[in-house]
A and B are shown apart, each in its own frame.
Chain A
Amino acid sequence: MNYIVSKPELKVVGTRPVRPDGVDKVTGRATFGADMVLPGMLWGKVKRSPHAHARILKIDTSKAVKLPGVKAIVTAADFPNIASEEAFVGEGPMNFRDLSRNCIARDKVLYEGHAVAAVAAISQSVADQALDLIDVQYEVLPHVIDVEEAMAPDAPILHDDLFTANVEPKPTKASNIAKRVYFNKGDVEAGFRDADVVVEGRYTTAPVHQAYIEPHACVVSVAADGQAQVYSSSQGQFMVRAYCAKLLGWDISEIRAVPLEIGGGFGGKTLVYLEPLALALAQQSGRPVKMQMTREEVFRASGPTSGTTIEVKLGAKRDGTIVAAKEVLKYQAGAFPGSPVQPGCMCGFAMYDLPNVEVIGYDVVSNRPKVAAYRAPGAPMSSYAVESALDDLARKLGMDPIALREKNGARDGTKTHYGPTHRDIGFLQTLEAAKQSEHWKSPLKPGPGKHVGRGLACGFWFNIGGESSGAVHINEDGTASVVSGSPDIGGSRASMAIMAAEVLGIPVDKVRPIVGDTASIGFTHVTGGSRVTFATGMAVTQASEQVVEQLKQRAAQIWDIPPEAVDWRDGAAYPAGSNAGAFEPLSLAEIALRAGKTGGPITSEVSVNAQGAGPGFGAHICDVEVDRETGQVTILRYTAVQDVGKAIHPSYVEGQIQGGAAQGIGWALNEEYIYNDKGQMENPGFLDYRCPVASDLPMVEAIMVEVPNPRHPFGARGVGEVPIIPPMAAVGNAIRDAIGIRMTELPMAPP
């Protein structure tokens, strides 16, 4: 059912109840990955490469094995040597051979921090001592970090069998360029010939980390019959199960993966690092094994995102009509192919109705940790370049930056350069809300000697749907349990409970939502792509509707009338009209109490492959003050406007927008991986890798625009990823406004 049309007066959707998992999280009771313990548990630790690129000559574990308290040691030799095969679940491109070699190095180490061995011991200190006793001999090889240096003809080659895909003629020489991406629409060269005004820019972005505060952690056990349990914090228990099974060569049915509370992911927990190692150690030792990364390991060895170099060129007529747009994007993939260059190529220009577009992207391996998804993977860098260039274009044309975007903005029916045609989108409404905001209408207040400026930038993310499962069980007292397959990172249990309560017609605090393990709920794709409220919400809504149908049938049975003669409203069955008979309404609780006598438990599980995720658009406005002496940038005011479709729980939607903006501001101003000449990261801690802290930021005003997505029962669109896209250009454009200098390198603040 589509409630946008049929039930305009929603009672629960759009309210702000306290989240059901909230009390546990403010009292310290919530169980995150590292909080789990099992009886007899060992501690596992990882021996990591100190070299950015080296051949492994020998791993000698003989001394470590003899250390009292050491119970198991594994290296790549303990895992199947997996052939190249595209992974079947997860977010973004992934190859099982690469994933296996990323979890534990085989033959070569490809980045500093690459795992070479793992031990399990009776205590953390014994495990640490054992790591020191493992002797690894390396032949150090030349390394390369920077994306353009990695593309050079004489660059050190990471993989002898990697040949650039999607180029003609097929290359005969191995290269670090894994793939070329190409999109073309119209005739871009003709478009530039036709342009009155052209702007060009070359932008670089530093590699950054998702920097979730919870390091990766898991506890596993493997029984003698091979049945394994994995307790871990990840963005997908089904992903954990599938990846572990593949990497160990086990049947999927042998593993039950239990999702624990996850302390942030932002895409970085859509793959496995520790779980396969822990399972192998548990199997070898016959005891449960707990592993957790240190912060340093998180930085050195888990998924950052790409550093990039992007060239952009725009051509426009005098009236502001953009007639040609070209972008060349080079993205670091890290040690294995799979950078987010493809979505980068899709998203930069997707907000605009452009006749002539050419976009070329390169996915480039280099001696960094294999990149993992990071919130709108690939889009923030691309939009940093495009939205900065648009700002230059607006200045050159003497146009207001919102007016330029309105003139060229995508609307219903706009065909994107990468294929799809936009339908039911809210970009122009978002721009209008930005234009009408208090922030945009309030003039900047320059003081004497103060350099202040204002910038605006926009962002687009396509959002995804996909496979999701949700179940609704009516309890004997008329309360309900909701089980979803989606790990809850930002409050999705609250939105699932809200949608179920709305359909069932009962108060939201009578609905208890949980996240099920892999044996308790149908397959569900990872929490990522801003898909959960859309796709899992669809499954939960449909399961609730099926439960309502059952409740109506039970009432009909009790009243001995046909089910069609029963209405369901406000949590009770009513006769549909006077013809149906005169009966007192039957509440959900009354029907639930009699379920045993009317056919048994009332329950439903629905699995969907949701299609039609509505794309999201955002527009951010940023005021800065720049200290011309030091280059210090202070964010004075920040407003983020976004089309959210329909805010199921507005507070958590605002939270997504505010948090995304803050991460983007960190990316814009401070965050970066710093490498020494040996290819080692020099700032693997929160002191030197500088995420925004409370005193760095002002309040972030979140303005929600609601253009319903007709393909979701309540009109929701994904909201989590869009808000990290505009900030880099919004900040850069504000700095340009303040001091007249276009910043083309991230991060922009002084070290």
Chain B
Amino acid sequence: MSKHHVTTTINGEPVEFLCEPQETVLDVLRNTLNLTGSKEGCASGDCGACSIICDGKLMCSCLMLGVEAEGHSLVTIEGIAQGEDLHPLQRQFLEHAALQCGFCTPGLIVASKALLDENPNPTEEEARYWLAGNLCRCTGYDKVIRAVMDAAAEMRGEAVRAA
């Protein structure tokens, strides 16, 4: 099967890759580019573990073909921290113990970033509905939601209450 050549931007850097026509962005990220932070939990768009941001829009990378990445700009979990500096969401997830196994965590953090990019001051209900596409089987979401709300407050420059 002949492969397609794709030119795209990932985490701010130009990236070229070859992919088979049926391969998804998730396949390419994980198996071709070794960006394994995006996880495959279902490959059907139901669990959100593979969440990425494509041109500012939250996507399941398992629902996007590799060839569709042509000319687009993708952000994956590997692009959320700035070098050594963790994103407030990442720090708040750690402070709140908002992860147990950590498998869904990259997707949750990417999806939460997309939320805060669009709505810097979400209500708890808005956060819960936004993240309804990200399954977590370990935490029951309590600490996840608290982490997101506190990260939002921190990013708005408000004092964050103690965990």
Residues of A within 8 A of B (CB): 16, 18-19, 21-32, 34-35, 37, 124-125, 210-215, 261-266, 292, 294-295, 489-491, 649, 651-652, 654-656, 658-663, 685-687, 691-697, 699-700, 702
Contacts and interface: CB of A to CB of B under 8 A. Distances in A.
Contacts of A659: 100, 137-140
B45 to A, nearest CB: 8
Interface string B28-58: 0010001111111111101101000000000
A662 B140 contact: yes
B94 interface: yes
Contact of B137 (A23, A28, A212, A656): A212
Q: How large is the interface on B (under 10, 10 to 19, 20 to 34, 35 or more residues)?
A: 35 or more
A16 B94 CA distance: 10
Interface string B57-71: 000000000000000
A213 B47 contact: yes
A26 B144 CA distance: 12
Given A489-B138, A694-B132, A694-B134, 13 more contacts: A22-B93, A26-B90, A27-B86, A28-B35, A32-B39, A125-B22, A212-B137, A295-B41, A295-B44, A652-B97, A686-B135, A693-B135, A695-B129
A392 to B, nearest CB: 28
Contact of A491 (B34, B100, B104, B131): B100
Interface string B109-133: 1000000000000000101110111
Contacts of A490: 100-101, 138
A28 B42 contact: no
Given A658-B139, A658-B142, A685-B46, A22 B99 contact: yes
A294 B43 contact: yes
B128 A695 contact: yes
A687 B86 contact: no
B95 interface: yes
Contact of A26 (B40, B86, B134, B143): B86
Contacts of B99: 22, 25-26
Query: Which are the 6 A-B pairs with shortest beta-carbon distances?
Result: A28-B37, A263-B103, A662-B140, A25-B102, A651-B97, A686-B46
A210 B138 CA distance: 10
15 contacts: A22-B102, A25-B99, A26-B90, A26-B93, A211-B137, A213-B39, A213-B47, A261-B102, A261-B103, A263-B39, A264-B101, A294-B43, A686-B41, A693-B135, A699-B142
A697 B38 contact: no
A18 B93 CA distance: 10
A211 B135 CA distance: 10
A489 B140 contact: no
Contacts of B93: 22, 26
B77 to A, nearest CB: 4
A400 to B, nearest CB: 28
A661 B41 CA distance: 22
A142 B16 CA distance: 54
Contacts of B128: 694-695, 697
B141 to A, nearest CB: 4
Given A23-B86, A662-B140, A693-B133, A489 B81 contact: no
Interface string B65-87: 00000000000111011000010
Contacts of B42: 295, 685-686
B25 interface: no
Interface of B: 1, 20, 22, 27, 30, 34-44, 46-47, 49, 76-78, 80-81, 86, 89-90, 93-97, 99-106, 109, 125, 127-129, 131-146, 163
B117 to A, nearest CB: 18
Of the candidates B36, B37, B97, B131, the one having the most CB atoms from chain A within 10 angstroms of its own CB is B97
Contact of A694 (B22, B49, B141): B141
A655 B135 contact: no
Nearest to A693: B132
A24 B27 CA distance: 21
Contacts of B76: 28
B135 A212 contact: no
A691 B105 contact: no
Nearest to B130: A694
A90 B30 CA distance: 32
Contacts of A25: 99, 102, 105
Nearest to A661: B140
| Residue from A26, A295, A702 having most chain B Cβ neighbours under 10 A | A26
Nearest to A701: B142
A685 B41 CA distance: 10
A27 B140 contact: no
A28 B77 contact: yes
B142 A212 contact: no
A679 to B, nearest CB: 23
B137 A651 contact: no
A655 B143 contact: yes
B39 A214 contact: yes
Given A26-B90, A27-B90, A213 B104 contact: yes
Nearest to B99: A25
A697 B141 contact: yes
Contacts of B146: 699
B77 A295 contact: no
A658 B140 contact: yes
Contacts of A19: 94, 97
B7 to A, nearest CB: 23
A34 to B, nearest CB: 7
A263 B143 contact: no
A687 B44 contact: yes
Nearest to A27: B81
B97 A491 contact: yes
B147 to A, nearest CB: 10
A654 B27 CA distance: 35
Contact of B43 (A18, A23, A295): A295
Contacts of B27: 124
Nearest to A696: B132
Nearest to A22: B94
Contacts of B105: 25-26
Given A27-B86, A686-B44, A655 B101 contact: no
Contacts of A656: 100
A489 B101 contact: yes
A26 B107 CA distance: 9
B44 A685 contact: yes
Select the residue from A31, A649, A694 with max chain B CB neighbours within 10 A.
A694
A655 B37 CA distance: 23
Contacts of A295: 41-44, 46-47
Contacts of A24: 102
A385 to B, nearest CB: 24
B163 A27 contact: no
A212 B42 CA distance: 11
Contact of A215 (B41, B95, B127, B135): B41
Contacts of A210: 137
A274 B61 CA distance: 26
A733 B145 CA distance: 27
Given A18-B95, A213-B47, A651 B109 contact: no
A269 to B, nearest CB: 10
Nearest to B145: A694
A694 B94 contact: no
A576 to B, nearest CB: 39
Contacts of A663: 137, 140
A658 B38 CA distance: 25
Contacts of A700: 140, 142
A201 to B, nearest CB: 28
B81 to A, nearest CB: 6
> Residue among B35, B131, B140 with the most chain A CB within 10 A?
B140
Contacts of A654: 97, 142-143
Nearest to B127: A694
Nearest to B87: A26
Nearest to A650: B97
